[in-house]
Amino acid sequence: MSAAESPELAQPVFVNGGLRPALARALRGLRPAPSRVFLVVDPAAARLALAPAQGAVRDAGLSLTVLRAPRGEGRKSLTSAGALARALVRSGADRRSLVLAVGGGVTSDLAGFSAAVTLRGLRWAVCPTTLLAMADAALGGKTAVNLPEGKNLAGAFHFPSFVIADAALLRSLPAREWSCGLGEVVKSAMLDGESALRRLERAPPAALRRPSPALLAAARAAAELKMRVVRADPFEGGERALLNLGHTFGHALETAAGPRRLAHGEAVALGLRCALSLAARTGLAAPDYERRIGALLDRCGLPARYPGRLPGAARLEALLARDKKARSRRLDLVLPVAPGRNVIAQGADPADVAAEIHRALGAAPARR
């Protein structure tokens, strides 16, 4: 795709306690003006985010309909997307409507996907309310829902009109949500380079679990890194695949465990450990780099082991072969070499990748 054909990508706006005025400004700037705003809100985010979001829509002089999003990764399904699409249509959505997602990654994925397929495409925007969503999930225009066969297997590229992240909303995050976000933050630092990694390593662990200057700098850096990559390759024809670092391993583990036992950011952390293990074992990365990132993941409170007994190699192989990026049952793996240096190893055998998961996470390979 030529630069002239590339989509217009909105740079995320970070605020700290100013969601209502920032959102009102963004809504006033939309052309044409929305006929109605459909606010799709995560119930977990409603206590802090619903009132300022509603106030912003009123300040912008726009009509509003509030729709509740289902909670949890297990509800991010075609059934939920269909129910949301039907609710939009029944509530009078037209081609000038705006779908505004307020919540975490599940809400942004579900609302963005429903917007993409309703009336052949409605505009949408997002106010992420979790660290994971601010650093990664709400950015870049990838929207998707899960199938029983795997994570994010039904989706569309649909780029939001704007992204506004209010760091003040992070104050109510439970501990597990912090960990999920930090998994993506560490991944982004590995892609970004030495200075990003050092910034994380120098931050006191407690500062990474609250909206501190250190945490906000790390989240903003992660968002900027993702947007640079997406601008260069909006539809994942090349460089954008690097953003999948840790994800091919992680998605298989996440699907096998289920969202209650292994959340997305936790699975990414395990995936990073697997990618580092393979890179170090094959001589791509120095063992010191594997130990360094392992120590950083530990400091961030991210898991080093799968919750319970690892699935057998045959089960993992089947899940890996169904990865949405697999081609002819072969995988393209992103492997870390050094800070800011990563390579795409093409044509990996899912059986070999399954065996690497067992090696990295402390279990002998077994087929069952």
Q: pLDDT tens digits, residue range 236-280?
A: 888 889 999 999 999 999 999 988 899 999 999 999 999 999 999
pLDDT in tens, 146-191: 999 888 999 999 999 999 999 999 988 888 888 889 999 999 999 9
Catalytic hit among 264, 273, 322, 358? 264
| Cβ atoms of residues 170 and 185 within 8 Å | no
Asked about 152 being catalytic, the answer comes back as no
Q: Average model confidence (pLDDT) for the chain?
A: 92
Check residues 366 and 160 and name the one with the higher pLDDT: 160
Asked about 184 being catalytic, the answer comes back as yes
Residue ranges and CATH numbers for the domains of the chain are 3-171 (3.40.50.1970), 174-360 (1.20.1090.10)
Check residues 192 and 179 and name the one with the higher pLDDT: 192
Task: Provide the pLDDT for residue 324.
Answer: 75
Asked about 120 being catalytic, the answer comes back as yes
341 CB neighbour count, 10 Å cutoff: 13
Asked about 146 being catalytic, the answer comes back as no
Rounded CA separation 181/268 (Å)? 10
Catalytic hit among 31, 120, 202, 368? 120
The CB-side HSE value for 328 (13 A sphere, CA atoms) comes to: 3
365, pLDDT greater than 50: no
Section 60-78 average pLDDT: 94
Catalytic hit among 36, 76, 146, 184? 184
Structure-token match 């289902």, residue found: 70
- Residue 32: cis peptide before it, omega within 30 degrees of 0: yes
Catalytic hit among 76, 247, 322, 358? 247
Asked about 76 being catalytic, the answer comes back as no
Instruction: Strands of the chain (E only): list them.
Output: 13-15, 37-41, 64-68, 98-103, 123-128, 142-147, 150-157, 164-166, 331-338, 341-348
Name the band, by pLDDT with cuts 50, 70 and 90, for residue 6.
low
Task: Provide the pLDDT for residue 367.
Answer: 40
Rounded CA separation 299/183 (Å)? 11
Name the band, by pLDDT with cuts 50, 70 and 90, for residue 368.
very low
Asked about 226 being catalytic, the answer comes back as yes
Asked about 251 being catalytic, the answer comes back as yes
Asked about 356 being catalytic, the answer comes back as no
Section 74-97 average pLDDT: 96
Structure-token match 């959340």, residue found: 263
Three-state SS annotation for 14-83: EECCCHHHHHHHHHHCCCCCCCCEEEEECHHHHHHHHHHHHHHHHHCCCCEEEEECCCCHHHCEHHHHHH
Catalytic hit among 36, 76, 123, 142? 142
Rounded CA separation 240/140 (Å)? 10
Answer positive or negative: Cα dihedral of 207, 209, 213, 217: positive
Catalytic hit among 76, 123, 209, 244? 244
Task: Provide the pLDDT for residue 3.
Answer: 40
pLDDT in tens, 311-333: 999 999 999 998 877 777 889 99
pLDDT in tens, 271-309: 999 999 999 999 999 999 999 999 999 999 999 999 999
Q: What is the DSSP letter of 163?
A: B
| Cβ atoms of residues 122 and 293 within 8 Å | no
Catalytic hit among 36, 151, 240, 273? 240
Q: For residue 133, which of 171, 107, 160 has the smallest C-alpha distance?
A: 107
Answer positive or negative: Cα dihedral of 213, 214, 217, 220: negative
Task: Provide the pLDDT for residue 11.
Answer: 86
Catalytic hit among 209, 251, 273, 358? 251
Check residues 59 and 139 and name the one with the higher pLDDT: 59
Q: How much of the chain, in percent, has pLDDT values that exceed 70?
A: 97
Which amino acid appears at position 70 of this protein?
A: P
